[in-house]
């Protein structure tokens, strides 16, 4: 814009009210919406609690303890974030099966073959990377639609886990002792005034969150993932080698699944061959978390913070439901809540796209 | 199987010819060959495989997957997907089973009720997807959970017991066969042929391909995109209702909560093995039927060979990779030639 132009364009005057701007922030900034929803949830549950409508007390100890469920959920949500971001219909249905296989691998190595802890963990993680690499190679180099490639490997890996373990959980004294990795601890220095927090948060979740955040936001790899996810062709013409990039995203999803495999062994105190695939499996909740966290299924849009907040919301919502509907009812209502939240979130995504042009 | 996979030839044609895809595609012939080879091999290694008492249950187990697969093929041709059929099967099956147990309804009422319920569930999905304009996989992940919730509520306890034999006309027993052909399989064949005709010879069917190829171009060409998409989900829902009856009949007199779990993936596997492109715009219902037969052959073959039954899923996974992989390579070769 030339400075010699007589009339400089007037600065757009913000004529809209604070309320309409707040509404726009709420709808377009997924993180704002999630934070508000978490606060609303906590207020509602506290009111219910003080009214005596709950079967247990919804206090900070209970909330902190329920965070153990956030560890696998958030990690796999981040795996889906990476994969979905990479675009071209990116999705990974096989994470649950990879969790089962790597869990069995870890259980075998640590519990039966007598490997030391670090080697066994490394084995599980590397195996996860290889399994993810198969997905990635099929998608990036052969050109499979990700939904199909990971559907096929979902079947194949699940079968491998069941056949390898002879359909029996792997169990030994060593694995049972490993249960301590999932226990709750008191933080040093400031911990006395805080509730006990599950150890897995610090040993697994937070490192993964930090690494994924750095990868996506502070490395060229991350920028390339966003670029290829937004427009694959444009990324190619911008000189990005999209294939190895896309392969790596699926490898990372496998690596994270390997870590989750180890976490589930610690949680169950045994390596179960159906750990990641029983019932609805682990892939569906992870994809739900990613979508709820504002990840666009078409790729290129999504943030780590959104996934983390979405996990906290779902975990605390589920914890509240268990208190409000005791017993088996609670588990069923959790299904309903997850479904409604997902439908609501995706309708909201569509609405904001039309009203404000993208999230 | 695109409508226009050939460029117009150099000579200008005087009259525009009606362009029809070939009645069967290469993928279908390959599948027939693979199934034939598998059946011969299984016949050699397990002498009992080619007997009626082994093939008839195989066809009964193919029926619900292929039947629902017809609807899923419609959906995937429009570039959509429905992962909620597992939950929808569970809900239809449990409601029908409860009707049979508690009210002893006759056969037509049970089937009609199940199909009507399935239609409603399909309309829910279709409305959200066509008019809510959201991505099909996300919405149906959500409705899968919601359907499963309602199914579990209706179940109450973990099983429905003592289901009367009303639906046995679709079942494995002698009542379920005419001239040795299971009724459920015969109905499935009929539906497949109807769907084949609809997709190939009616404007509505061709519109589904157009929508999957490019929804925007289809809309500009005058296709009513949203009603057509809604129709695809409604058909799937209705077929889910009928498929649920087949599943009840094929089982024992007890229905358990896990009736729908994993079925959506089995159906999608049959569809993609059958050569339908997950990207939309290309697909065939005959391929889906063959895909379902292939998957059930593998499952039944692995058991009859005395291998661990869990191994079957490994083969299903490999078949998906091989089927889609060869399709991709063929597509690439075709593009290079053009």
pLDDT tens digits, B92-129: 999 999 888 888 888 889 899 999 999 999 999 999 98
pLDDT in tens, A98-109: 999 999 999 999
Q: How many CB pairs under 8 A join A and B?
A: 133
Q: What angle do CA A331, A336, A341 make, to 5 degrees?
A: 125
Residue A16 within any structural domain of the chain: no
CA distance readout (Å), B240 to A53, A61, A261, B247? 39, 45, 35, 10
Instruction: Kindly determine whether residue B321 and residue A298, on different chains, have CB atoms separated by under 8 Å.
Output: no
Q: Is A145 part of the contact surface with chain B (CB cutoff 8 Å)?
A: yes
Bridge partner list, B178: B181
pLDDT top residue among A168 and A9:
A168
User: Which run of H or E residues covers position B116?
Assistant: helix B107-132
pTM across the whole model: 0.84
Residues, chain A: 359
Mention every residue, 6+ apart, whose C-beta is less than 8 A from residue A153.
A94, A97, A131, A134, A135, A138, B317
Q: How many CB atoms lie within 10 A of CB A73?
A: 23
CA A184 to chain centre: 21
Contact A340 B153 (CB under 8 A): no
Chain B residue with minimum CA distance to A286: B141
Percent of chain B with pLDDT over 70: 92
Q: Measure A141 CA to nearest chain B CA, in Å.
A: 11
Provide the mean pLDDT of chain B. Answer: 85
pLDDT in tens, B252-290: 778 888 888 778 888 998 998 888 888 888 888 999 999
Query: Which chain A residues contact residue B317 at CB under 8 A?
Result: 152-157, 159
Contacts of A284 in chain B (CB under 8 A): 141, 144-145
Nearest-angstrom CA–CA distance, B314 and B309? 10
Identify which of A163, A108, A162, A97 has the alpha carbon closest to the alpha carbon of residue A131. A97
pLDDT classification of B2: cutoffs 50, 70, 90:
very low
Residue A271 falls inside a structural domain: yes
Give CA–CA dist B68/B267, Å, rounded: 7
Is the CB of residue B133 less than 8 Å away from at least one CB of chain A?
yes
The count of C-alpha atoms lying within 13 angstroms of the C-alpha of A294, restricted to the half-sphere facing its C-beta, is: 23
Q: Does residue A6 lie in a domain region? A: no
pLDDT at B12 over 60: no
Could you tell me which chain B residue has the CA closest to the CA of A297? B135
Question: What CATH number is associated with residue A138?
Answer: 1.10.3470
Q: Which of B321, B323, B326, B335 is best to mutate for the A interface (most A CBs within 10 A)?
A: B321
Tell the residue number behind the tokens 């094929």, with chain if given.
Answer: B250
Question: Inter-chain contact A152–B318, Cβ cutoff 8 Å?
Answer: yes
pLDDT at A215: 94
What's residue A9's pLDDT?
Answer: 53
- How much is the ipTM here? 0.79
Tell me the sheet residues that pair with A271.
A170
Q: Nearest 5°: phi and psi at A6?
A: -65, -55
B261 touches chain A (CB under 8 A): yes
Q: Is residue A3 assigned to a domain?
A: no
**Contact status, residue A70 vs residue A205, Cβ threshold 8 Å:** yes
Domain limits for position A227: 70-183+192-354
pLDDT tens digits, B162-199: 788 777 778 777 777 778 788 899 999 999 999 999 99
Q: Is A1 helix (H, G, I), strand (E, B) or coil?
A: coil
Instruction: List the beta bridge partners of residue B255.
Output: B160
Short-list A267, A276, A268, A220, CA closest to A248: A220
Q: Provide the domain count of chain A.
A: 1
Higher per-residue pLDDT: B160 or A77: A77
Q: CA–CA distance from A23 to each of A18, A40, A292, B263 (Å)? A: 9, 16, 18, 41
Is there a contact between A154 and A146 (Cβ–Cβ < 8 Å)?
no
Domains, chain B, in order of start with CATH, read: 57-304+311-328 (1.10.3470)
Q: Does the residue A244 lie in any domain? A: yes
Summarize pLDDT for A138-185 with one digit per residue, the tens: 999 988 989 889 988 998 998 899 888 888 888 877 777 776 666 666
- Residues linked to residue B159 through DSSP beta bridges, in sequence order: B256
Has residue A10 been placed in a domain?
A: no
Residue predicted with more confidence, A28 or A306? A306
User: Which tens digit of pLDDT belongs to each residue from A263-300?
Assistant: 888 888 788 888 777 766 788 889 888 988 888 888 88
Q: What is the pLDDT of residues A296-355, one digit of tens each?
A: 888 888 899 999 999 999 999 988 888 888 777 888 888 888 888 888 877 877 777 777
| pLDDT for res A357 | 62
Residue A246 domain-assigned?
Answer: yes
């Amino acid at each position: 814009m030339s400075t010699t132009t007589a009339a400089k364009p007037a600065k757009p005057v913000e004529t809209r009210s604070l309320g309409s701007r707040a509404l726009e922030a709420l709808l377009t900034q997924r993180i704002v919406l999630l934070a508000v929803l978490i606060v609303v949830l906590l207020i509602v549950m506290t009111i219910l609690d003080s009214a005596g409508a709950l079967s247990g007390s919804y206090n900070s100890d209970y909330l902190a303890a329920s965070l153990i469920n956030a560890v696998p959920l958030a990690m796999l949500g981040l795996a889906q974030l990476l994969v979905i971001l990479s675009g071209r219909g990116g999705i990974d249905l096989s994470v649950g099966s990879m969790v089962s296989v790597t869990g069995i691998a870890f259980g075998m190595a640590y519990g039966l073959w007598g490997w030391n802890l670090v080697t066994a963990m490394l084995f599980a993680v590397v195996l996860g990377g290889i399994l993810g690499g198969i997905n990635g190679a099929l998608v990036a180099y052969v050109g499979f639609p990700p939904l199909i490639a990971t559907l096929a490997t979902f079947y194949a890996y699940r079968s491998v886990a069941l056949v390898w373990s002879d359909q029996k959980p792997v169990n030994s004294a060593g694995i049972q002792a490993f249960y301590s990795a999932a226990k709750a601890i008191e933080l040093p220095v400031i911990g006395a005034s805080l509730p006990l927090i599950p150890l897995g948060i610090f040993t697994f979740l937070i490192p993964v969150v930090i690494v994924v955040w750095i990868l996506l936001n502070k490395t060229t790899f991350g920028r390339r993932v966003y670029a290829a996810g937004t427009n694959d062709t444009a990324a190619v013409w911008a000189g990005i080698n999209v294939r190895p990039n896309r392969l790596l995203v699926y490898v990372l999803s496998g690596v994270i699944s390997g870590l989750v495999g180890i976490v589930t062994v610690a949680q169950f105190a045994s390596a179960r061959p159906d750990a990641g695939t029983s019932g609805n499996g682990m892939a569906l909740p992870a994809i739900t978390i990613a979508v709820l966290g504002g990840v666009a299924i078409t790729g290129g849009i999504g943030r780590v913070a959104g996934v983390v907040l979405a996990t906290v919301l779902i975990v605390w919502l589920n914890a509240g439901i268990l208190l409000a509907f005791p017993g088996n009812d609670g588990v069923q209502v959790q299904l309903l809540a997850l479904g409604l939240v997902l439908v609501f979130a995706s309708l909201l995504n569509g609405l904001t796209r039309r009203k404000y042009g993208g999230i | 199987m695109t409508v226009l996979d050939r460029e117009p030839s150099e000579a200008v044609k005087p009259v525009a010819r009606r362009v029809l895809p070939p009645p069967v595609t290469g993928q279908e012939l390959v599948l027939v060959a693979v199934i034939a080879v598998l059946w011969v091999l299984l016949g050699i290694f397990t002498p009992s495989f080619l007997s009626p008492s082994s093939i008839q249950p195989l066809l009964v187990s193919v029926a619900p997957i292929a039947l629902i697969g017809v609807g899923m093929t419609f959906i995937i041709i429009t570039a959509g997907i429905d992962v909620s059929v597992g939950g929808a099967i569970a809900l239809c099956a449990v409601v029908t089973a409860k009707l049979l147990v508690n009210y002893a309804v006759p056969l037509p009422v049970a089937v009609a009720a199940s199909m009507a319920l399935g239609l409603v569930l399909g309309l829910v999905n279709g409305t959200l997807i066509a008019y809510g304009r959201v991505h099909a996989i996300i919405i149906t992940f959500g409705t899968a959970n919601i359907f499963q919730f309602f199914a579990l509520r209706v179940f109450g306890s973990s099983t429905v017991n003592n289901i009367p034999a009303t639906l046995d006309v679709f079942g494995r027993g002698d009542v379920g066969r005419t001239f040795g052909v299971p009724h459920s399989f015969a109905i499935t064949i009929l539906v497949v042929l109807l769907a084949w005709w609809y997709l190939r010879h009616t404007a509505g069917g061709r519109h589904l391909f157009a929508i999957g190829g490019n929804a925007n171009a289809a809309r500009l060409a005058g296709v009513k995109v949203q009603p057509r998409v809604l129709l695809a989900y409604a058909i799937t829902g209705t077929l889910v209702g009928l498929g649920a009856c087949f599943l009840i009949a094929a089982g024992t007199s007890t229905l358990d909560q896990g009736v729908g779990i994993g079925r959506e993936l089995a159906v999608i596997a049959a569809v993609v093995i059958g050569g339908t492109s997950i990207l939309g715009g290309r697909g065939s219902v005959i391929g889906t039927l063959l895909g379902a037969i292939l998957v059930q052959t593998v499952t039944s073959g692995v058991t009859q060979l005395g291998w661990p039954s869990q191994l079957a899923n490994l083969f299903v996974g490999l078949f998906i990779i091989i089927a889609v992989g060869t399709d991709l390579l063929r597509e690439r070769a075709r593009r290079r030639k053009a």
